[in-house]
Chain A
Amino acid sequence: MSEAHLVLADGTVFRGEAIGAAGAAVGEAVFTTGMTGYQEVLTDPSYCGQIVTMTAPQIGNTGVNAEDREALRPFLAGFVVHELARRTSSWRAQKTLEAYLAEHGIVGIEGIDTRALTRHIRDVGAQTAALGTEPPDALLAMARSAPPMEGRDLTGEVSTDRVYEWTEGLGRWGTSSARRAAPERHVVCVDLGVKYNILRCLVDAGCRVTVVPARTSADEILALAPDGIFLSNGPGDPEPVQDVIETVRALLGTKPIFGICLGHQLLALALGGRSYKLKFGHRGLNHPVKDLTTGRIEITTQNHGFAIDVASLEGKCRLTHIHLNDDTCMGLAHRDLDAFSVQFHPEAAAGPHDSRYLFERFVASMDRAA
């Protein structure tokens, strides 16, 4: 086993052992606090450009299987764990996590004090970092020369390059009553790094789903005759994604729109709102959100480093959801138009299913518009 280092741009060095692929990785160092779902984290395109630390200390226990992936391959830059399981135990496991990381060229490190790293990121804020078997000095130089997440449009790296139909539902993992009878609504999903489970949830909600590349124009989208338009999650800073923001602006008022995470931010920006970077973001499966419409609390999955300043949309949008820990904006609905969005992940994967009703809400808005 070879020695590896994780070096933060501020010079903090963690020594550990290399796992996964050889080489070096550069990205923004973040942590996620979910205790389950490392495979979903690995394959979540929203982690593109990030070195992700799992705060749960023993990772890989259930191996990797084909069913639980959120994209065809991992997009994150590097993977940090306290201890990687050498032994896999699950009736669904197809390979070990170690083999999977190596196979997909993911550079990782284990054997570091992930709690100390997490506390550091929490206290200092997210920053760029480098990780790998190269000497710490070299890694530090890489970390310092890496571009900050602010100002980065990463949608091009994760979006599909062709239009395709998505037909897979949640299958045995869905609730039996979920799939609804006709009429089927046609949803065009603008892929900014979409997680498969969003598509599965849409299918289970009774939608025909067409996925289109991020740079598909409003006219092209409307030409597909959708009943509704979905703006997906994705990585990076929303602000530089100007062309998509323009597209969204053009689509406003034509069809019902629903956005999740980056999609939510782009919708807000299209409406003239402002985004800002959070100190270290929200990443985990235990974030309490209050639905201001019903007063109900949802435990949600979150994965974002940027948020929307709700004051910037005053008069245009209603705040529909807030985060109970820090009162940040978790959901918006346009006052007049059929457009709403949430910052968190109702599709979960990984995470609780408390917010699945939002897909129904989207379908209901399409029903109303039809």
Chain B
Amino acid sequence: MPRRDDIQKILLIGSGPIVIGQACEFDYSGTQGAKALREEGYEVVLVNSNPATIMTDPQFADRTYIEPLVPRVLERILERERPDAVLPTLGGQTALNLALAMHDQGVLERLGVELIGAKVEAIRKAEERELFREAMKAIGLESFRARTVRTLDEAFEAAEAIGYPVILRPSLTMGGSGGGVANDRAEFERAIRWAFQQSPVHECLVEESALGWKEYELEVIRDAADNFAVICTIENFDPMGVHTGDSITVAPAMTLTDREYQRMRDAARAIITEIGVDTGGSNIQFAVNPDDGRLVVIEMNPRVSRSSALASKATGYPIAKIAAKLAVGYRLDELRNDITGTSSAFEPTIDYVVVKWPRFAFEKFGGSDPRLTTQMKSVGEAMAIGRTFKQAVQKAARSLETGRDGVVSLLDKIDYRELAAQIRRLKETGEGINLHRPIEARERATIEELREAILEVVQTPLADRLWYVADGLRLGLTVEELHEATRIDPWFLAELEEIVAVERDVAGDRDRPLSDAMLARCKELGFSDASLAALRGETAESIRERRGASIVPVYARVDTCAAEFEALTPYLYSTWGRESESKPTGRQKVMILGGGPNRIGQGIEFDYCCVHAAFALKELGYETLMVNCNPETVSTDYDTSDRLYFEPLSFEDVMAIVREERPVGVIVQFGGQTPLKLAVPLARAGVPILGTSADAIDRAEDRERFDEILGKLGLRRPRGGIANGVQDAFAVAERIGFPVVVRPSYVLGGRAMEIVHSKEDLAAYMDRALEAVDGAQAQTILVDEFLQDAIEVDVDAVCDGERVVIGGLMQHIEEAGVHSGDSAMVLPAHALPADVVAAIRSSTRALALELGVVGLMNVQFAVRGSAVYVIEVNPRASRTVPFISKSIGVSLAQVAAKVMAGKKLAELGYTREIVPRHFAVKESVFPFHKFAGVDTILGPEMRSTGEVMGLAETLPEAFLKALWASGSDLPAEGPVFVSVRDADKQAACDLAYRLREMGFTILATGGTAAALRRNGVEAERVNKVLEGTPHIVDRLRGGEVAMVINTTEGAKAIADSRSLRRETLLAGIPYFTTVAGAAAAVSAIEAMREGRLSVRSLQEYHCSAS
């Protein structure tokens, strides 16, 4: 059946903010989907609350709504747009759940809107555990023994009947949220409460555990004519028990015979048919008992997923694009494979091995449980392509940006005895593990002791387990022993053993020069120059020189067909072989370095900037080369740039591509810290860096050089100094006076940044900081005056060296002290005196010109009274660039990329700051619900994973939308709990008064209640937790609190109120830890109660913006 002509207008739902379990992959799928539908001539309406996405760029849809992904808002949009159909299968679980809600509320039927991509019955059958199990039974497939439970009693009965350990899988959650493993009744009780909490339908599946079985995924696609294809097979390195999002995964499946695989394929086909997904992609997971091959179905996602993004990047088959076209009626055989020009109805076959390695951020969440379970905890992933698993795993290891140059030894960094003891303690008492502390061994451990310790350590899945396993092999543990301890397939372990064996040869033969054959063999096994250098006691440069022009990588194409057909698309990866297929053109090219794996502080915003740079430079006639290793992103879509190099962002890997392609310039300023730190080494190697010079970047980052600039320009900064070591830090802090802000130099995302209030705090901090950042950089600590109660302002600007145009001036809602990546912000600045704004603008201009910025620059200011302080300057793309671009209707990244390529702002027609008439609020989204036991208070260390944008005519309405979009549902009535520090008492009285006016009641702790009463605001006093029960947490648990306003000061008060914040989070109650945030929320509630809710597309906003 060809294209459906009975529908014209299609609404596409995005996935909202980046959270754990739902990241850029849905920007990739949504962008592909929108492009595919418009290509077919449909009118596309797009909804997503996440401004950092490419899909929400106005050019990708006819109408783009950056609005909260909540039913009441979506209903408004549907009413306003009256689309013929809604496509919910490209926006993750969020979009699917939202579409179901629209169906259940009768909205779709009322408005005559059809759901395409997946039918409601199919979604339910796939997602509701019991229906799914029944369906599997009907087609003769095995599922694990399990029971769906809704009450504690049912749950215990089920667990006992099945027998511990059991797996918990809450219904309708994503990324396994709320899921886990329980080994006994006590663990089960904790886990089941959490699971119920996380399930929107308060339902959980209690399932037989198959810990240690092999785990596989099939990415499949099916059309309305029942044509079916497996796009990719994926095998998990980590056996069952670790969420597939947290597992290292490998494509294709490596340890299945054809018979076993075909049985799985037959099952997948039967499943997708039975469930009824008839126009799109699905992900189906299987467990296999390694001892007898017993095949069990785990679950199915009736939509594109993180794995399908991975499968698309791994094979070159664009699943989301094809799925979108199937949803509008096409059959697989009516579509063509872009890469080969042959039919889309086929199964890709690959002649390389792909390894995906998740990236974790436990260091950001002190006190969290770092064990990997069925609930996903990783924040991003890197993918690597190599000819063999060995090559790919080593490339993936160095793509992770954890400072390791491959599967290197950690034996001199970790005392495994200590780690084993910590894990034991964790299991017994729940006390956190400090994985990053370099151990000064108490006494030299014997090899025997270390082997024993490693065998114990690797039984617990942790983020770095593969490294520990490799260390075990280094110490002589056998594949069998390690298999026994980990259940990792012996084939994978043997691959690691090969790496370790060669490493031993290389290191053991230090006195003799490396032979050509040995060097070539090492490169084939994926060793980087840096890792070889470390083994040989040489420098990476000497290894590189030693390789010369003879031992260099070749580039092969990802072609979906194992070279059977010629690839028309230059999607390349490096390997070691006989001939290179890169075939560089003679055109003028610019290389753009991407951001690598997502992690906190380095996310989709930077990918957005890189993609825009590619678009802009293409427009100027350059050939664009993208280098990146993040499979989730739009930048790694082969469609985005002229040539895609799927490679680690290491100096060696990037230089090799430079040598192959000889670009006229490289852009390092758009991909965040990862490429930025290559600026100096690349410049030194003679690579032309476009835009702002490496020296200017250094001037902005080097404390002393930066102080000189500020002095010269007469700008103020908080008093501070550089401290080398603990004593020095004390001295600086004493001079400035506590509290002070401390952080290691050269970090992004406020890594290890803290506000310390006393000498003891500082000492403790120095202790921790030294372990948080690798290497000598950690020794240098910046100590600054903390500007209490200051307001922070972020400015992004573009400069062409002569002219500076401010993109946006954003005022933070939270006071200074909260990392700008975590803070809510308003554009335009809503409450700053005109002279302050003028001072900020002129300071920004002066800084840009003085630094010689060519491209983007971000400045953070703090304002106290009328005094303006410069906090920091970053001459590069910042996290707020997409937010501003969406607000003002100009792509700053594109303008900047063109400026970097030599254009002047005047030529580009961008000469004036656009101050929008509407308000845009950026709010952050946090992963606290994934990390039981973590304090949720905001501070200078960034911990948000994503952001949302609220757009409206008025600020309260914009803030309301931002809160809704971030998952906060503000109450319209009920008791509000208020407990604030002294400095906030006056402000709290005003807020409490306004709340009472609206009919809320007030609960308050002693001091606050007294202050309220003094000001004539009636409040019921409740106990603090320390004052004994019944206290506020009891009230929270009893569901008696609708909202919480709680500000604290000092380490003790913060610690005391921790259980309160935790409980609030668990109960999903909106809470505010700054008075400014609370004030904005109260205004938002007022707006909500007035019933104002308008929705408007970006295209409409932008028309009226300037």
Contacts and interface: CB of A to CB of B under 8 A. Distances in A.
B255 A115 contact: no
Contacts of A122: 563-566
B333 A297 contact: yes
B255 A288 contact: no
B564 A36 contact: no
A157 to B, nearest CB: 25
Contact of A92 (B257, B387, B495): B257
A288 B345 contact: yes
Interface stretch (B56-64, B258-266, B966-974, B1079-1087): B258-266
Interface in A274-331: 284-288, 290, 295-297, 299, 324-326
B1090 interface: no
Nearest to A123: B566
Given A114-B351, A173-B263, A287-B346, A61 B491 contact: yes
A55 B258 contact: no
B349 A285 contact: yes
B225 A35 contact: no
A326 B256 CA distance: 30
B577 interface: yes
Interface in A87-122: 87-92, 112-116, 118-119, 122
Interface in B216-237: 225-230, 233
Interface string A47-84: 00000000111100110010110000000000000110
A350 B490 contact: no
Contacts of B333: 288, 290, 297, 324
A297 to B, nearest CB: 4
Contacts, number: 166
A113 B577 contact: yes
A37 interface: yes
Contacts of B556: 115
B980 interface: no
A2 interface: no
Contacts of B581: 119
B261 A299 contact: no
Contacts of A39: 257-258
A58 B254 contact: yes
B1030 interface: no
A290 B243 CA distance: 38
B348 interface: yes
Given A61-B491, A324-B342, A324-B343, A90 B255 contact: yes
A325 B261 contact: no
Nearest to B332: A297
B351 A295 contact: no
B5 interface: no
Interface string B150-177: 0000000000000000000000000000
A148 interface: no
Contacts of A349: 258-259
B345 A297 contact: yes
A233 to B, nearest CB: 17
Contacts of A55: 349, 351, 562-564
Contacts of A156: none
A338 to B, nearest CB: 28
Interface of A is mostly: loop
A353 interface: yes
Nearest to B497: A87
A325 B346 contact: yes
A19 B432 CA distance: 51
Which of the listed residues A86, A115, A287, A354 has the most CB atoms from chain B within 10 Å of its own CB? A115
Interface of B is mostly: loop
A57 B388 contact: yes
Given A290-B333, A297-B333, A349-B258, A57 B346 contact: no
Contacts of B233: 35
A58 B259 contact: no
Contacts of A113: 577-579
Nearest to B479: A87
A118 B351 contact: yes
A288 B225 contact: no
A177 to B, nearest CB: 9
B388 A284 contact: no
A91 B577 contact: no
A242 B138 CA distance: 51
A296 B227 contact: yes
A199 to B, nearest CB: 16
B564 A89 contact: no
A92 B228 CA distance: 29
B564 A284 contact: yes
A298 B988 CA distance: 69
A227 interface: no
Given A85-B491, A113-B577, A284-B564, A92 B347 contact: no
Contacts of A58: 254, 353, 388-389
A331 to B, nearest CB: 16
Nearest to B483: A89
A213 to B, nearest CB: 29
Contacts of A62: 255-257
B835 interface: no
A34 interface: yes
B489 interface: yes
A131 B535 CA distance: 37
Given A89-B255, A288-B343, A351 B352 contact: no
Contacts of B470: none
Contacts of A288: 333, 343, 345-346
Interface stretch (B41-49, B288-296, B796-804, B1056-1064): B288-296
A368 B495 CA distance: 56
A40 B228 CA distance: 24
Interface in A2-61: 14, 31, 33-37, 39-40, 55-58, 61
A122 B581 CA distance: 14
Interface in B531-560: 556
B536 to A, nearest CB: 24
A348 interface: yes
A56 to B, nearest CB: 6
B561 interface: yes
Given A58-B353, A122-B564, A299-B229, A286 B259 contact: no
A352 interface: yes
Nearest to B270: A175
A284 B498 CA distance: 30
Contacts of B578: 14, 112-113, 116
A61 B254 contact: yes
Nearest to B498: A86
B350 interface: yes
Contacts of B502: none
Nearest to B389: A58
Contacts of A85: 491
Interface string A164-192: 00000000010110000000000000000
Interface of A: 14, 31, 33-37, 39-40, 55-58, 61-62, 65, 67-68, 82-83, 85-92, 112-116, 118-119, 122, 173, 175-176, 284-288, 290, 295-297, 299, 324-326, 348-354
27 contacts: A14-B578, A35-B233, A35-B350, A36-B257, A40-B258, A55-B351, A56-B350, A58-B254, A88-B491, A91-B290, A91-B293, A92-B293, A113-B577, A115-B351, A116-B579, A284-B562, A286-B349, A286-B561, A297-B225, A299-B228, A299-B346, A324-B333, A325-B342, A325-B343, A348-B262, A352-B262, A353-B262
Given A87-B495, A324-B345, 5 more contacts: A56-B562, A57-B387, A61-B255, A90-B257, A176-B140
Ranked nearest first, the 8 interchain pairs of A and B with the lowest CB-CB distance are A37-B258, A87-B494, A350-B258, A113-B577, A324-B343, A55-B562, A89-B491, A113-B578
